[in-house]
Structure 1
Amino acid sequence: MIRFTGHPLVDVGVAVITLFNRRQRPEEVTEADLERMADYVTAEYVRQPLKSFLTVAFPNSGFTQPAFEKTPERRLTYANLVARAYRQEQAPGAETCVFTGEPASAIAFGETLLPGRTFRQHVPLLTGEDVINFHPGGDAGLPVSGWALLAIQAFPLGCAKSGGKLLAVHSDNEEVILHFAADFLQKNRLAIQLAQAAGETKLPEASQSQRTLLVHTLLDAAVMQRERRADERPFSITAYHLTNSGQGVALDLYHLPLQIIGFLHEMHLAEYHADWAAVVRRAWELPPPPPKGNKAAVPAAEFKPRRNWLYEDLFRLPGNAPTFIRTYFLRVALRAVRNVPTDPRGAYSVRDQAELVSWKITECFLRRVLQMDKQRIAEIRQLGDRLAAYVSGQNDRRFFREFFTLQNYGHLRNALIKANMAHVRRGQPPLIALDPYLVVFEEGDEVAHADWRLARDLVLIRMIEQLHEHGWLRQNVDAIPEVAETAENAENRQTNASEED
């Protein structure tokens, strides 16, 4: 009777109808289930707090229009029309629903409207009744089938309220659509009950920022927590942060492609989980310092952070990958936020957080997110091992500091050549041969890779991990430079990458 269509407005609503009736799949929904959903819409959408909440989705509709309040019968009639259009028999020659391909409803939404045509008050983000631009044949509105229209009315219940807008999540994995809709529906119904009991007219906002909420909710999904299976299908998610308010229509998109979700899925495995959780834990927003002279400030123990900066920055990948790696994997502070007391990234430091530097996590990121060539990953790791052994064996603090801080490729190459020669003079084999060096740093003929700084940071990650495990870093803390990522360096690291939003 109902099914997923590939359109987020309809699919989230389909998920709500399915979950509202405690069904596992949309195909299990019966006409009696549709009737229960329609009963809820007609009873609850016409009173608080949903009447206020729905202004962001259905302005000027019978649910929210003040003129309808004077005639409750008219409001109830409207609710029945949009919630029970699936009951109506199709008129001969009915138009095709744009969402389902089925015959559109034969119901008229007003005395002057075409049968089955929907507008902004019925479907979010459409144009108004008197706007005919971009419609075939000059006919305003869209034809919609009865059950699709009910699904769209149910759509807001499967969204989170964030920043005064609706946050809906769609995916090419139907299990994920159901997961997000279930989480948001449960929270909304509880909030509705509490608001009605307290006589409140508004629903509370989500406790986390949009991006953080998306990742946090995604990681709770069963598909993310189960072990990898041979038949596991990769998927992506797209979140729609929208308002259909009469004060201004807006739509923002947040997308996590399948390679990033694949990386997050691996981080859930036992092999990575503990190390990854430690990195994530250090990325949560910090409590603000108490105002001067204010003894009634909220204790830090009661502070609930709204955002996790690592989760936020996932949505800028892969364009900001060099900065992401340097910040979270190499633990280099972001200079731009050093004066922001609530942003932990301004205090990142290899000196204090060397235990968080993990080549294992970094290697997975390179493979999953950047899809880096396996040979180059292997050569980077081997070079990091050799340089770590050289630094600890010769106690070459100067080379370590120089390799960490140099920003000129020619200087970096000279530093490696000097270390190589010093190692050979001591009767040791070369630290690095020509072919591996070219794979890591150069394209040939002394032309550096565009991402040579990224390659240097990756070598450093492996070096620091090894030096920390062997105890050299603890004995030579003062050899670790305190550096910060500047805006200029961040821009250089993103050559040929997309601009951050």
Structure 2
Amino acid sequence: MSEMSFSPPDYTGHPLLDVGLATLTAFAGRKRPAQLTEEDLRLAAEYIRENYIVDPLKSFLNVAFPNSGFTNPAFEKQPEKRRRYAEIVAGAFTAPPGTERDPLTGLPATGVPLNPDGDLPPGRTYRQHVPLLTGVDVINFHPYGEAGIPLSGVSLLAFQMLPMGCAKVSGKLLAVHSDDPDLLLYFAKTFLKTNQQGVNVARAAGEKKLPDTAPHRARTVLIEHLLKAEHELARLESNGDVPATLTGYYFTNSGQGAELDIYPLPLEVGSFLKVVMKNPVFQSDWEALTARGWQLTRKEGDIPRYNRLYEDLFSLPEGAARFIRLYFLRKPSRQMGAVDKQDPTLTYDTRREANLISWRLTELFLRKVMLMEDSRVQSIRELGDALAQYILDRNDRGVFNAFWMARNYGELRAVLIRASAAEVRAGRKPLITLDQFLAVFEQSEGVPFADWRLGRDLVLIRLLEQLYQKGWLQAHAEELPETAPEEENS
């Protein structure tokens, strides 16, 4: 078959169309949409014609294309119309062009009405063709009061393939978009493979429903697959440390009510995770934390619905202080209002989980997510080391307990002043200098820090790691104070 008379579009920046194009690309075994041939599109169209008009995809597609020819209940007794609809929307890329332009790609819009009766304006698409558009007679938000959007046959085919490149999560679709073409293709290819396998399994079992891609919540699914992608992909070094955008679009186009939740992963978090998964040293520390982030199940064999650590990545960098306290310092959370008794963070305990405390992972987080200055990171590390050495030399549980349990800024200052004075009396240099104190607890580059507890928590992470490595923490574990929970909004 001859090549197409025009160059197929590359990624456009429209998230749902790009995921659809990536799915077409994955289906054809290509690397970029611009490499697609007419034969590639023909094979994708053939898959749609054969599979979208029968279960399990026929029932599944209600979430994406309600009242389309694939799903319209009225066509149950008119199967020829259902087949005709599939032929029209899947094969529109071969139809003569119309007079309008596709606003997403700049290609000519297809020149055929996109329904079996042929009474729609040529090339115009509505919610039965494209998720989250308005219906045929709804003119809101359209120029000149003309409902619908004109699309090229290639764009239309990509939108039809979109659901196959999404994760099916709790009856909705999760599309994952990135400005990194390798990452975008990875997600579409992974979900396409899972959905194709699901189709085969459902048919073999005589089931009418497509199984969920994963039993977890959407944000947990997104992070779970991102970590696998960063681990498996041969990342190109040409882009250096430039982080890729990553956004999850969790949606339903159901006739009972269209919904869309958008989950943008902060660039700082993407950069952090990329380094973590490329370096085995960080990876082992990280995996130890994530293993304790899964929802507690009520009985053996139950599958957890979420990973709390994964979910909380989306609160960063604004929620960094709380994130550090929970996951790096292992302080238990104290939820206000309705309590999720299966939340694993309720069971965290710094004393008993000191083996999970990692300064090297925390330091990477400070640099990549919080963009903390090197001088402040160095000051925090030095104070943690100095305190650890002071406690080891004097076996001073009092200083440790007072620093650990300080209820306010005044108590914290008093502990450090007392310990520094003791060092001076012994003929040694003070435990901490004024510049170090300001850098850790008060200001950096003239900007005051509002939360003294963040500095305290970071020093504690370094202190606890050092005391654990020297065996002091294990020897005095039962004599140390209980780990106090932190307020969820503190």
Same fold, judged at TM 0.5 (above): yes
What is the CA distance between 1:316 and its match in structure 2?
A: 1.3
Stretches of structure 1 that go unaligned for 5 or more consecutive residues are 290-299, 493-501
Matched, 1:311 2:310: yes
What is the CA distance between 1:472 and its match in structure 2?
A: 1.1
Matched, 1:334 2:342: no
Letter in 2 for 1:125: L
Query: Match for residue 103 of structure 1?
Result: 108
What is the CA distance between 1:342 and its match in structure 2?
A: 3.1
Query: Match for residue 406 of structure 1?
Result: 406
Query: Match for residue 378 of structure 1?
Result: 378
What is the CA distance between 1:5 and its match in structure 2?
A: 1.5
What is the CA distance between 1:306 and its match in structure 2?
A: 2.9
Which secondary structure state, in structure 2, belongs to the residue aligned with residue 241 of structure 1? strand
- From 246, 249, 254, the equivalent of 1:240 is 249
Q: Is the 8 A contact 2:65 2:130 kept in 1?
A: yes
Distance 1:250 1:484, change over 3 A: farther
What is the CA distance between 1:230 and its match in structure 2?
A: 5.2
Q: Is the 8 A contact 1:442 1:448 kept in 2?
A: yes
What is the CA distance between 1:96 and its match in structure 2?
A: 1.4
Query: Match for residue 434 of structure 1?
Result: 434
Distance 1:248 1:391, change over 3 A: same
Q: 1 CA distance for matches of 2:414 and 2:32? A: 63
Residues 442-479 of structure 1: CA distance to partner in whole angstroms, max 9, x if unpaired? Answer: 239x9962021101100010100111111111121134
Letter in 2 for 1:216: E
Matches within 5 A, 1:166-205: 166-205=173-212
Q: Is the 8 A contact 1:175 1:223 kept in 2?
A: no
- From 283, 289, 296, the equivalent of 1:286 is 296
- From 271, 274, 281, the equivalent of 2:281 is 271
Residues 100-134 of structure 1: CA distance to partner in whole angstroms, max 9, x if unpaired? Answer: 01111111125442211111111100111111111
Which secondary structure state, in structure 2, belongs to the residue aligned with residue 483 of structure 1? coil
- From 226, 231, 250, the equivalent of 1:218 is 226
What is the CA distance between 1:287 and its match in structure 2?
A: 2.6
Query: Match for residue 459 of structure 2?
Result: 459
Q: 2 CA distance for matches of 1:45 and 1:309? A: 36
Matches within 5 A, 1:75-114: 75-91=82-98, 94-110=99-115, 111-114=118-121
Q: Is the 8 A contact 1:218 1:224 kept in 2?
A: no
Distance 1:46 1:227, change over 3 A: closer
Over the residues paired in the alignment, what is the CA RMSD in angstroms? 2.0
Q: 2 CA distance for matches of 1:491 and 1:216? A: 26
What is the CA distance between 1:266 and its match in structure 2?
A: 1.5
Which secondary structure state, in structure 1, belongs to the residue aligned with residue 134 of structure 2? coil
Deviating more after overlay: 157-166 vs 7-16: 7-16
What is the CA distance between 1:399 and its match in structure 2?
A: 1.5
Query: Match for residue 3 of structure 2?
Result: none
Stretches of structure 2 that go unaligned for 5 or more consecutive residues are 1-7
Distance 1:341 1:443, change over 3 A: closer
Which secondary structure state, in structure 2, belongs to the residue aligned with residue 207 of structure 1? coil
Q: 2 CA distance for matches of 1:228 and 1:141? A: 40
Matched, 1:421 2:421: yes
Aligned length: 476
Q: Is the 8 A contact 2:11 2:33 kept in 1?
A: yes
Q: 2 CA distance for matches of 1:451 and 1:224? A: 39
- From 39, 42, 48, the equivalent of 1:35 is 42
Q: Is the 8 A contact 2:245 2:265 kept in 1?
A: yes
Deviating more after overlay: 458-467 vs 388-397: 388-397
Query: Match for residue 50 of structure 1?
Result: 57
Q: Is the 8 A contact 2:286 2:361 kept in 1?
A: yes
Q: 1 CA distance for matches of 2:385 and 2:316? A: 28
Q: Is the 8 A contact 1:339 1:346 kept in 2?
A: no
Letter in 1 for 2:109: A
Distance 1:70 1:304, change over 3 A: same
Equivalent pairs: percent with the same residue?
49
Runs of 4+ in 1 over 6 A off after TM superposition: none
- From 21, 38, 47, the equivalent of 2:28 is 21
